[in-house]
Amino acid sequence: MIELAYTVTAWMPGWMQAIAIILMKISLLMMPLLLGVAYLTFAERKIIGYMQVRVGPNRVGPRGWLQPIADSLKLMFKEIVIPSSANRFLFLLSPLLAFAPALAAWAVIPFDDHLVIADINAGLLYVLAITSLGVYGIILAGWASNSKYAFLGAIRSGAQMVSYEIAMGFALVGVIMAAGSLNLGQIVQAQATGLGLFSWFWLPLLPLFVIYFISGVAETNRAPFDVAEGESEIVAGFHVDYSGMAFAVFFLAEYANMILIAALASLLFLGGWLSPFDGLPVLGPLFDWVPGIVWMLAKMSFFLLLFLWLRATFPRYRYDQIMRLGWKVFIPLTLVWIMVTGVLVVGEVGPWFGHGEG
């Protein structure tokens, strides 16, 4: 695949070839990602629909399969209304500020062994840094709209994302300690100790795993932590004044972030592309032929299903209750479990930490 790309672009000068290859890689990632976002919205409506004893969209195309296309077409042709008292520049800039980090973070996400755009050493650090930038888009959107509802939503979401980043960061510290690396590929490799799904980090780091995922839900402003949008309180929160494509970009960012969190959770805690039966008797060889990317996508889908399931089941937290949960429950818990992880790593407790790292 990559050789083919090199032969096709062989006529270019060296620098141009490098750029062309990178662009190819990016588009190879972006196309499926954006398609994934589009069909995640469809899956959400269908799955929540069935959970709520209704059928969901089934009118556009066979069984509703073209619904996301119709939606995006509609949004593209709608007027982008800019409120007269809004700050035009920031108003239009903020969707991009929200969307760009959501896509940029994907650069370091591996889908299989070495199937990654940028295999950098500080991959996890990069993800943390980039995803925290997303909050700027939201805060600016709330401020630039010059509306009280939007501003309230922006303040809420700013506070919420900043607080949960801490719990999330601590959860990641545990993973880094356990794996002894910041590179996502190596973190996954560190989980291949030959016991199938029991050798992954979710078992020794169970509390961190749970906290990471819940913080991820809070990070992406999804139910039950969706106070930033708070449909019934502040109508739509920070994007209440957005319409058409400007709104769609926020929407895309939210769903790209969801997929990102799902990808990270499967990489860090569920062994990424590793087969759950790897190294087990009988089952191991039986599933050997399945390519790693399938496992990766299956694990991501599982987390995405959890996102939707939570949305269909839980009422919404109140703003101060979310803060309490983040600061008074999650942060102390993660701190304690970092200590425990330290002990486990130093004590080389097998099968996870027995191979001489840390």
Partner 1 sequence: MAEIHNYTINFGPQHPAAHGVLRLILEMDGETVVRADPHVGLLHRATEKLAESKPFNQSIGYMDRLDYVSMMCNEHGYVMAIEKLLGAEVPLRAQYIRVMFDEITRILNHLMWIGTHGLDIGAMTMFLYAFREREDLMDMYEAVSGARMHATYYRVGGVARDLPEVMPRYERSKWHDEDDVKRMNANREGSLLDFIHDFTERFPACVDEYETLLTENRIWRQRTVGIGTVSPERALQLGFTGPMLRGSGVEWDLRKKQPYEVYDRLDFDIPVGVNGDCYDRYLVRIEEMRQANRIIRQCVDWLRDNPGPVMVDDHKIAAPPREAMKAGMEGLIHHFKLFSEGYQVPEGEAYAAVEHPKGEFGIYLLSDGANKPYRLKIRAPGFAHLSAMDEMVRGHMLADVVAVIGTQDIVFGEIDR
| Stretch in the footprint of partner 1 (CB under 8 A) among 106-114, 119-127, 205-213, 308-316 | 308-316
- Verify binding: residue 329, partner 1, rule CB under 8 A: no
Taking residue 329's Cβ as centre, other Cβ atoms within 10 Å add up to 13
What is the distance between the alpha carbons of residues 116 and 126, in angstroms, rounded to a whole number? 14
Query: Nearest distance from residue 337's CB to partner 1, in Å?
Result: 22
Residue 288 as a binder of partner 1 (CB under 8 A): the answer is: no
- Interacting positions 227-256 with partner 1 (CB under 8 A): 227, 230-235
Cis? peptide before 276, omega within 30° of 0: no
Judged by CB under 8 A, the residue of 44, 71, 219, 226 near partner 1 is 226
At 78 the three-state DSSP class reads coil
Nearer to partner 1 by C-beta: 235 or 245? 235
Count of residues that bind partner 1 according to CB under 8 A: 30
Of 316, 326, 330, 337, the one binding partner 1 by CB under 8 A: 316
**Residues of span 24-83 touching partner 1 by CB under 8 A:** 48, 51-54
Among positions 32, 63, 118, 321, the unique one binding partner 1 when judged by CB under 8 A: 321
Nearer to partner 1, 180 or 207 (CB): 207
Shortest separation between residue 317's beta carbon and partner 1, angstroms: 6
Sequence-separated contacts (24+) of 81-87 with Cβ below 8 Å: 81/241, 81/243, 81/244, 83/145, 83/146, 83/147, 83/241, 85/146, 86/144, 86/145, 86/146, 86/241, 87/143, 87/144, 87/146
Q: Nearest 5°: phi and psi at 210?
A: -65, -45
Which residue lies nearer to partner 1 by CB, 156 or 299?
156
224 counts as binding partner 1 under rule CB under 8 A = yes
C-alpha of 2 from chain center? 27
Pick from 195, 312, 333, 340 the residue near partner 1 by CB under 8 A.
Answer: 312
Q: Contact with partner 1 (CB under 8 A): which of 319, 337, 352, 353?
A: 319
Q: Which CB atom, from 5 or from 312, has the smaller least distance to partner 1?
A: 312
Contacts of residue 331, Cβ cutoff 8 Å, sequence gap at least 6: 166, 167, 170
User: Of 266, 256, 102, which Cα lies nearest the Cα of 184?
Assistant: 266
Give the range of 6-14, 70-78, 130-138, 314-322 binding partner 1 by CB under 8 A: 314-322
Considering the complex, state which of residue 56 and residue 185 has its C-beta at the smaller distance from partner 1: 56
Question: What distance in Å separates the CA atoms of residue 130 and residue 127, rounded to the nearest whole number?
Answer: 5
Closer CB to partner 1, residue 320 or residue 348?
A: 320
Nearer to partner 1, 104 or 323 (CB): 323
Output the DSSP codes for 268-319: HHS-TTS-TTTT-TTHHHHTTTS-HHHHHHHHHHHHHHHHHHHHHHPPPPPH
Asked whether position 314 contacts partner 1 by CB under 8 A, the answer is: yes
Q: How far apart are CA 198 and CA 278, in angstroms?
A: 10
Site for partner 1 in 109-148 (CB under 8 A): 148
Residues at the contact surface with partner 1, assessed by CB under 8 A: 48, 51-54, 148-149, 152, 156, 223-224, 226-227, 230-235, 311-321
